[in-house]
Every structure is written in C-alpha cells, then in structure tokens.
Amino acid sequence: PDCPGPYTLIGQVFVPFIDLLLERPRLDRRDSALFHVFALVEDFLGETDPKIPNMIYVELLESRRATWYERAIPFLGNRALATLDEYDEGWRTRKDKDDDHVELNSPHGIDAVVDELLRART
C-alpha cells in the first residue's frame, strides 16, 4: 500500500474490531469470530507483497501490551507467531506495568458492531 488508505482501514477499523473482541468475555461466538479474524491476519501475513505483512505487523501485532498477547495467543496462527518471534523476541515474556493502561478506542461505532455480532440469536 502506497497510500494511507489501507493503513487507515486496518488501524481504525480492523484493529479496534479485534481489540474489542479480545476484551469481551469468552463466549463461543466471540471465539469463533476471533478465529475467523485471525485466519484473515494469517492470509495478510502470507501475502507476497512485503508491504501487506509489514502493515499488519505494524498496525496489529507490534508493541502490544502483555495482556493483549495473552488474550490473542489462542487465536494467533503460525505466521503471526513467527513474525512476532522474528521482530519482537521479548513478546512472550513481556509484563505490563501497573500504570500501563490503554483505553480502547472505538471509532466509527465498532463497539456496536461487536455487540451485535456477539448478541445471541434466538
């Protein structure tokens, strides 16, 4: 991606969607959604144009809090794990600082989309 459009889509829509799903309580619907989303992450990381995997690493995987990795690891595929191991060798042992709280940003009503996705259908 040579223009900011893909970075905007990934950074302002895709990443907050994943972050909000990871913050929700563990439910079958939530876990299923996360498996599907992280399968897409694996596809992005396997792209032959190196700009795409780099964008995913920078926008989604790089420099996350330890609690994010703890929640995400059951859903991370082999490419994501290998990418993290290659570029951030301390990610598996990282500890959060007590004052290292990150406020979730939910632009564009993404929290409502996540809530609707997880709402039980009857």
State pTM to two decimals: 0.83
The full set of domain ranges for the chain reads 5-87
- pLDDT for the residue 113: 84
Q: Are 114 and 17 in contact (CB under 8 A)?
A: yes
**What are the contacts of 33-39 at 24+ separation with CB within 8 A?**
33/117, 33/118, 34/72, 34/75, 35/75, 37/75, 38/72, 38/75, 38/76, 38/77, 38/80, 39/77
pLDDT in tens, the chain (122 residues): 456 688 888 988 899 999 999 999 999 999 999 999 999 999 999 999 999 999 999 999 998 999 999 999 999 999 999 999 999 988 999 888 765 555 666 667 788 888 888 886 54
SS3 call for 51: helix
Q: Are 68 and 19 in contact (CB under 8 A)?
A: yes
